[in-house]
Structure 1
Amino acid sequence: MTASVTIITPMFNSEDFISETINSVISQTYKNWELILIDDCSSDSTLKIIQPFLEIHTNIKLLKNEVNSGAAVSRNKGGQLAKGDYIAFLDADDLWHPKKLETQIAFMQKENCHVSFTSYQLIDQDGKLLNTEVKALKSLSYPKLLKSNYVGNLTGMYNAKVLGEITAPNLRKRQDWLLWLAAIKKSGKDARGVQEPLAYYRVHQNSMSANKLSLVKHNYWVYKKGLGFSTLKSTWCMLVFLREHFFVKSKQIVKLNKS
């Protein structure tokens, strides 16, 4: 019997992209999955758009937050209801390659790893490739991940059958980084990276990566609030982060030749 996968997708005013995102899950060559959509009090047409998917696909489920709570709360709620042997995450504006689940699960089983992630490519608001690929490290330790977030959340997956549920602290931003830190720590061994690009990260004006100043601020709170470090240690970690992000991690970003 093939392993099952739970995919968790928080939504908030996601009408522009959610249909395409869901279709990228439905198109997976690996079929033993459930998709949990968590709506965070959307005021647009998100719920209307996803209704036909809910009527046709019994393995797509919807949760609704009573108040706007942020992605961390939404992901944690999805994790509490997850039935899959593996847990994966896909934001409401990102996409997966059709063989993402098939390739990644086979990789994890072959490598006997409990946490994995993959390379991914960047797309613009219209879904057009930006000829940029973010390469996954082949192996990722907890100390290395503490320096900078090397896991694209849309690519990450962990073995819930082995590790149990992994929750994220209730921070508005960068809580996914803390989740992967917790997963690797609980695993007791390095995460492994699939070198093949299996996902597509959408870059637009609301993307964290598009606002460098905001990125620095929210990363500081990962250390200070998320991990409970002192102000001095958090400041030191941010200095290490800046060096890692701009001089080491940047080497993982590869410009591709236009076809």
Structure 2
Amino acid sequence: MNKGIVSIITPSYKSERFISQTIESVLTQTYHYWEMIIVDDVSPDNSNKNIEEYIKKDNRIKLIKLEQNSGPAVARNRGIEEAGGKYIAFLDADDLWKPEKLEKQIKFMEEKNCVLSYSAYETMSEEGTLENKIINPALKVSYNDLLKSNHIGCLTAIYDVQKVGKVYMPIISKRQDYGLWLRLLRKTDFAYGIDEPLAVYRIMSNSVSSNKFKLLKYHYKLFTEFENISSLKAFYYLGWNILTKLIYR
């Protein structure tokens, strides 16, 4: 484990349109102690060709190729396996980081002495137009808080491997990041947020978050099958999730 190094995990599938912008947002970080582990999930487009061009220029960027298409949970977990850093961060292949993201967040984690941190983030359209909307999460959450609403955007999360070891995502088609935050909060009392947008989330027209019914199904599965919560309690927490979305949308 390299002290101070941030291992950035990026699953890649059909990311040809956006992966260059995502990598550029990492290259422009003011914090230079990172490695970017991109995991190709057998993408049928030219994503790998674009990635390999960047690898020639910067050896901090690495590409792992899965043998068969396995989904983002498997891809991210493979990246976690290969990670050599003290910290693990997540950045999807269509999202962006602001230049001071890592510098500010690592400093914040050191000051807070915390296991898991996250930040506010902005949103943009699929075409890359900023929507002038900021998602401001709660600044301190416990395991029970998170069951009621997932305050942590995957593109903003960083956890400290040195404090808790490597923790992996549950193998579920969607909401695997939510499952990881819950697993981490079983190991620490609180996760802490930064009240500043340090990343930009791209809203894709075909994303699962655009289908609210499907999203609730994955929430229910996560609660009952992976968190071992009873059906009655799962519906209780689903109700909280719905209420929170209605209040803050």
TM range (shorter): over 0.9
State the identity as a percent.
43
Equivalent position of 1:67 in the other structure: 68
| Alpha-carbon offset, residue 243 of structure 1 | 2.1
Equivalent position of 1:109 in the other structure: 110
User: Whole-Å Cα distance in 2 between the matches of residues 149 and 72 of structure 1?
Assistant: 17
| Alpha-carbon offset, residue 2 of structure 1 | 6.8
SS of the residue corresponding to residue 193 of structure 1 reads strand
User: Whole-Å Cα distance in 2 between the matches of residues 178 and 241 of structure 1?
Assistant: 15
Structure 1: any 5+ residue segments left out of the alignment? 254-259
For 1:29-40, what aligned pairs fall within 5 Å after superposition? 29-40=30-41
Equivalent position of 2:172 in the other structure: 171
Structure 2: any 5+ residue segments left out of the alignment? none
User: Deviation digits for residues 152-207 of structure 1, max 9, x if unmatched?
Assistant: 00000011111110101100100000101111221x22111111100000012122
User: Deviation digits for residues 204-258 of structure 1, max 9, x if unmatched?
Assistant: 21223222222222211111222233333323332232223323xx1xx6xxxxx
Equivalent pair of 2:3/2:85 in contact (CA under 8 Å): no
SS of the residue corresponding to residue 28 of structure 1 reads coil
Equivalent position of 1:19 in the other structure: 20
SS of the residue corresponding to residue 194 of structure 2 reads strand
Equivalent position of 1:202 in the other structure: 202
> Is 2:149 the counterpart of 1:148?
yes
> Is 2:109 the counterpart of 1:79?
no
RMSD over equivalenced CA pairs, Å: 1.4
User: Whole-Å Cα distance in 1 between the matches of residues 66 and 228 of structure 2?
Assistant: 27
Equivalent pair of 2:90/2:157 in contact (CA under 8 Å): yes
Q: How does the TM-score come out when normalised to structure 1? A: 0.92
Partner amino acid for 1:61? K
Equivalent pair of 1:115/1:183 in contact (CA under 8 Å): yes
User: Whole-Å Cα distance in 2 between the matches of residues 225 and 2 of structure 1?
Assistant: 35
Partner amino acid for 2:195? Q
SS of the residue corresponding to residue 87 of structure 1 reads strand
Equivalent pair of 1:171/1:226 in contact (CA under 8 Å): no
Equivalent position of 1:158 in the other structure: 159
| Alpha-carbon offset, residue 49 of structure 1 | 1.3
Partner amino acid for 2:135? V
Q: How many residues are aligned here?
A: 248
| 2 and 99 in structure 1: CA distance in 2 versus 1, 3 angstrom threshold | farther
User: Whole-Å Cα distance in 2 between the matches of residues 225 and 71 of structure 1?
Assistant: 18
User: Whole-Å Cα distance in 1 between the matches of residues 3 and 164 of structure 2?
Assistant: 18
